Amino acid sequence: MGTPVKDVELPDRPELQELLLEKHASYIETFEKNKDDLDYCMTEFLRVSGIYWCLTAMDLIGQLDRMNKTEILDYVMSCFDKDTGGFRPAVNHDPHLLYTLSAVQILILYDSVSLIDKDRIVSFVSKLQQPDGSFVGDRWGEVDTRFSFCALATLSLLGRLDAVDIEKSVQFISSCMNFDGGFGVIPGSESHAGQVYCCVGSLAICKRLDVINADQLGWWLCERQLPSGGLNGRPEKLPDVCYSWWVLASLSIIGRIHWIDKERLTQFIMATQDDETGGFSDRPGDMVDPFHTLFGLAGLSLLGNRQIKGVNLIFCLPQNVIERLELDYELLKE
Amino acid sequence: MHGRLKVRSTAEQEEARRREKEKKVLWYREKNESIFAKRAAGEKDRDTLKLTEEVLLENSDVGTLWSYRREILTELLPTCSQEDSETMCKTELNILERCLRVNPKAYCVWLHRRWVLEHSPAPQWAHEKQLCDLFLNHDERNFHCWDYRRYVIRKAGIPPSDEFKYSFDKIATNFSNHSAWHYRSKLLPLLHPSHSSSNGIDENAMKKEYELAQNAFYTDPSDQSAWFYHKWLLGRGTRGTMIGCVLVRRDPAPFIAVSFNQNVKSTEEEPIIVTLGDALPKPVTDSGRFESLWWSCDLVFPKDEEVTVRIEKGDGVLVEMSLDKGSNSSLWLTPDLDLLFSTYLTAATSEVLDSELVMCRELLQLEPDNKWCLLTTLQLLEAIDYDKHHKEIIDLYDKLVKCDPLRRGYYNDLRSRHLIAVKLRRRLEERRESPDINSFDLSQLNLSRLYFTQHMVFIEDLLLNGNKLNSTHSLEGLKNLKSLQSLSLADNQLITLPKTLGGLTNLKSLSLENNDIKELEDFDTLRSLPELKELNIRGNPVCQLSDCEPFVKKMLPNIKLIH
């Protein structure tokens, strides 16, 4: 027997039809201040990424000045590991590619790249590339297409793509392509919208979107939209606000964002707002967090909401920040 | 924080929970501090293992604590007896299993498990496979566990045929298990390779897979996994590169344009090479572009002389044509127009296409509104003969938009693609007979997007009025119309002028009548059109602006403005 369609029903709450900008700003502001909160404490292992989610969310809604720039930059710099050239997620933790990208995104956002020794970071990232073109996340050898994206995005933001073998990187990503046109974690892994974003983003950075079968992938991606309007990350899974970013950005990179119903997705994202605390959750009625708050806002931005700044499809930073860098990447138009 | 429901509670409950949380924060911090102090001091002993275990059982996502455990184990294991190290590894696996039961999607837990097995004196791969069975029974879609399973299978040397059977069992339990269909797509070419078939899979094995997909369709026709798998079996489209047309022109400026069936790059390894007469072959420069139309003005044709033109790209793509003495231009068209517009079901023989069509038609009798079946029927018809089945294909697209409105943008684009393919193929056939045909009528078709414009490079007069073209991306293809002199975009839904219009440097007449253009600044794009003589903007909101006429006339002083 097959399973019934997994989906949620949107609550009938007119107060959620409006974008609660001030509430979201105050949610993020408080989240970063409440350092004794249990959730804050238990997520220390990803702190630098958490800071990136918060800052980008705030910048997208024009409230970046409510964050403590000096304190944040001091903290991020204290996570730089001079020995390897990578960034730790938090003081005492081990450096990793995931947090190196987040840290570089933060520094770019604050236009403060001059604070760091770029060459050290470039050396950290390039040493993680394997002979088959893949990237490991750190010295323990885990391979994942997420790490390919982290490496290529970091180097692109630093203007140093020349430091790795692009051709091999592309070959590895191609080897992760599946029967449905999507991409997985490693060769052989099932397609997943988050990995699709990482692979499509990587190929855009490498200007090798020719590798993709855009009509097939676009079909699989637009089939992520459920009757509620929300997007899931794989067939027969529940919708989740973060896929408003992973799926939507991937569709935009391959020039097919109009293959989903934008209005219905907007309604779904709006329904995941919490009108008491501010912030967005994965699904209506769940607990909010900064991760879903960023991707809810970024999704709405891609859907054309004028109250939110334009967001860059590949680096998930405000478009004006990326324009400052004059980066070179590819987007499919046909 | 995925899937954590927000629960309402009383003030009293709230307070109790707050105190509980406060206590936990203190505990967590204290433990972490002492662990990191020990690590800084270089301590690698069993006590520290115990300490990190306590924290990891509470929060298994902390990758650094697992790293610390690996550092400790690396130190301790070589000093232990065989028996002792086996016990230590076993303890480690037990802790990991307890963590996975709570947090089965933790990347660092699965990573650590691999490491432990790699460093175990006697890894029990059979036990690991059982663990995978257990976890995949509990959550059949856990992709971490599926990846771990593939690793274990490789290590244990279990043959792919066993796993093929396993994927069948999982599918039989639940036809919606996309993970299991996915696994099958990886195993099938390994188990049944064939050098003769176009997708590398033995035809008899394929037949069985078609049957399996069919069973799934009949069990629950709304399960998307089997339909994706079916599309893959039919062959979803690696096509060879071919050239559609080549346009060569002497005047007003030397020009050559080559259209391909798909986007191509001209790279150093595989450049597009043009040879004119006896001159040396010249590679088209690698600009990093990825396009279906390649063109160059960077050529010198001998005046008043016949010249042969050769185009080459990679494996066997080759065109040879000539530009006669005394003629200004010449168009080469592929003899294989059918292939140029054919759709993607490359792996299936016509026999298979026919039998799958029969199956779909039968299923449609039972499930007339099933979108998956409608789409598959339509794609089979397109692959069999898109021209012959044109009317039915259009009816099916219209029905799909009604049955599945969320994806109307997708269906409308495919429908536009099909319509343009049918019309353009006929037009190219006519062009082959009468070389003076340079116009093309694509009006009143409800097109949502332009396709195949690279093969329209010679068209001088294009009617696109009465469609649903509404945005920049839907008109991106205009950039390929290098010969265009007259263009009608009347009665569309344009809100703004696409920038691609600015590249149509031969354009003399442009109609934008009855669109939704609101901003005067939009016309700025047209400044780069030196030949533009006539512009129709009647019926646009912009005409209501009092300064509309003077503004446009000032910007484009030499044109006839209809407003």
Q: Is A260's Cβ below 8 Å from some Cβ in B?
A: yes
User: Looking at chain A, which residue has its C-alpha nearest residue B23?
Assistant: A38
Residue B94's alpha-carbon distances to A212, B90, B125, B497, in angstroms, are 42, 6, 15, 65
Query: Does B327 have pLDDT greater than 50?
Result: yes
Sign of CA dihedral A263, A269, A272, A275: negative
Nearest-CA distance B68 → chain A (Å): 9
* Per-residue tokens: B141: 């879609």
Return the pLDDT at B238.
Answer: 60
Query: Does B516 have pLDDT greater than 90?
Result: yes
Name the burial class of residue A263, with classes exposed (0-12), middle (13-18) and buried (19+) by CB atoms within 10 angstroms of its CB: exposed
* Per-residue tokens: B339: 């292939």
Return the pLDDT at B10.
Answer: 84
Q: Is B154's Cβ below 8 Å from some Cβ in A?
A: no
What 8-state DSSP symbol labels residue A284?
Answer: T
Query: Does B317 have pLDDT greater than 80?
Result: no
Section B248-276 average pLDDT? 86
Nearest-CA distance A130 → chain B (Å): 18
CA–CA gap between residue A282 and residue A292 (Å, rounded): 6
Residue B552 resides in a domain: yes
Instruction: Give the other-Cβ count within 10 Å of B368's Cβ.
Output: 11
Q: Which residue has the higher pLDDT, B263 or A122?
A: A122
Instruction: Give the other-Cβ count within 10 Å of B83's Cβ.
Output: 9
Count: domains in chain B = 2
User: Domain ends where: B313, B334, B355?
Assistant: B334
Nearest-CA distance B351 → chain A (Å): 23
Q: Could you tell me if B465 and B511 are in contact, meaning their C-beta atoms sit under 8 angstroms apart? A: yes
Question: Cβ contacts (< 8 Å) between A236 and chain B: which residues?
Answer: 141, 176, 178, 223-225
* Per-residue tokens: B313: 């790209």
Return the pLDDT at B51.
Answer: 97
Residue B447 resides in a domain: yes
Question: Phi, psi (5° rounding) for residue A268?
Answer: -65, -45
Return the pLDDT at B290.
Answer: 79
**How far is C-alpha B139 from the geometric centre of its chain's CA atoms?**
28
Q: Is B4's Cβ below 8 Å from some Cβ in A?
A: yes
Q: Given pLDDT bands bounded at 50, 70 and 90, which one contains residue A74?
A: very high
Section B256-285 average pLDDT? 84
CA–CA gap between residue A93 and residue A50 (Å, rounded): 15
Q: Given pLDDT bands bounded at 50, 70 and 90, which one contains residue B413?
A: very high
Q: Which of B1, B5, B61 sits opposite A285 (nearest CB)?
A: B5
Instruction: Give the other-Cβ count within 10 Å of B353's Cβ.
Output: 18
Tell me what the pLDDT averaged over chain B comes to.
92
Q: Could you tell me if B372 and B227 are in contact, meaning their C-beta atoms sit under 8 angstroms apart? A: yes
Residue B49 resides in a domain: no
Domain boundaries of chain A, sorted by first residue: 21-126+209-325
Q: Given pLDDT bands bounded at 50, 70 and 90, which one contains residue B289?
A: confident
Query: Does B237 have pLDDT greater than 60?
Result: no
Q: Do B143 and A185 touch (CB under 8 A)?
A: yes
Instruction: Give the other-Cβ count within 10 Å of A328's Cβ.
Output: 11
Q: Report pLDDT digits (tens) over B350-398.
A: 889 999 999 999 999 999 999 999 999 999 999 999 999 999 999 999 9
Q: Given pLDDT bands bounded at 50, 70 and 90, which one contains residue B203?
A: confident
Please list, in sequence order, all residues whose beta carbon lies within 8 angstroms of the beta carbon of residue B325, skipping any fewer than 6 positions away: B304, B305, B306
Q: Given pLDDT bands bounded at 50, 70 and 90, which one contains residue B473?
A: confident
Range in B61-65, B309-313, B373-377 with the lowest mean pLDDT: B309-313
Please list, in sequence order, all residues whose beta carbon lies within 8 angstroms of the beta carbon of residue A256, skipping any fewer than 6 positions away: A214, A218, A221, A222, B410, B413
Q: Given pLDDT bands bounded at 50, 70 and 90, which one contains residue A1?
A: very low
Section B217-235 average pLDDT? 93
Q: Is B18's Cβ below 8 Å from some Cβ in A?
A: no
Nearest-CA distance A17 → chain B (Å): 20
Residue B532 resides in a domain: yes
Residue B189 resides in a domain: no
Residue B551 resides in a domain: yes
ipTM of this complex > 0.90?
yes
Return the pLDDT at B304.
Answer: 77
Query: Does B488 have pLDDT greater than 60?
Result: yes
Q: Which of B6, B174, B219 sits opposite A286 (nearest CB)?
A: B6
Percentage of the residues of chain A whose pLDDT score is greater than 90: 92
Q: Supply angle C-alpha A83, A85, A87, rounded to 5.
A: 110
Range in A12-26, B121-135, B227-241 with the lowest mean pLDDT: B227-241
Q: Do A236 and B5 touch (CB under 8 A)?
A: no
Query: Does B287 have pLDDT greater than 90?
Result: no
Section A126-148 average pLDDT? 98
Section A214-241 average pLDDT? 96
Question: Cβ contacts (< 8 Å) between B263 and chain A: which residues?
Answer: 210, 334
Instruction: Give the other-Cβ count within 10 Å of B1's Cβ.
Output: 14
Residue B184 resides in a domain: no
Range in A319-328, B227-236, B267-276, B527-536 with the lowest mean pLDDT: B267-276
Please list, in sequence order, all residues whose beta carbon lies within 8 angstroms of the beta carbon of residue B417, skipping any fewer than 6 positions away: B449, B451, B452
CA–CA gap between residue A150 and residue B401 (Å, rounded): 39
Return the pLDDT at A3.
Answer: 55
CA–CA gap between residue B229 and residue B432 (Å, rounded): 40
Query: Does B547 have pLDDT greater than 70?
Result: yes
CATH number for the domain harbouring residue B483:
3.80.10.10
Burial B55-82 (b: 16+ CB within 10 A, else e): bbeebbbbbbbbbbbbebbeebeeeeee
Interface of A with B in 122-161 (CB under 8 A): 140, 142, 144
Task: Look at the block and give the residue holding tokens 């990179």.
Answer: A253
User: Domain ends where: B312, B334, B356?
Assistant: B334
User: Domain ends where: B319, B334, B349?
Assistant: B334
Residue B321 resides in a domain: yes
Return the pLDDT at B478.
Answer: 93
Instruction: Give the other-Cβ count within 10 Å of B482's Cβ.
Output: 21
Return the pLDDT at A2.
Answer: 47
Instruction: Give the other-Cβ count within 10 Å of A7's Cβ.
Output: 16
Question: Cβ contacts (< 8 Å) between B107 and chain A: which residues?
Answer: 142, 144
Pick the CATH number of A21-126+209-325 from 3.90.226.10, 3.40.50.300, 1.10.760.10, 1.50.10.20: 1.50.10.20
Q: Which residues pair with B355 in a beta bridge?
A: none
Query: Does B236 have pLDDT greater than 60?
Result: no
Domain that holds residue B540: 438-561
Q: Report pLDDT digits (tens) over B423-438.
A: 999 999 999 999 999 9
Section B10-16 average pLDDT? 87
Query: Does B191 have pLDDT greater than 60?
Result: yes
Question: Cβ contacts (< 8 Å) between B264 and chain A: which residues?
Answer: 210
For helices A97-109 and A47-60, the axis angle rounded to 10 degrees is 30
CATH number for the domain harbouring residue B284:
2.60.40.1130
Query: Does B223 have pLDDT greater than 60?
Result: yes
Q: Which of B24, B178, B185 sits opposite A234 (nearest CB)?
A: B178
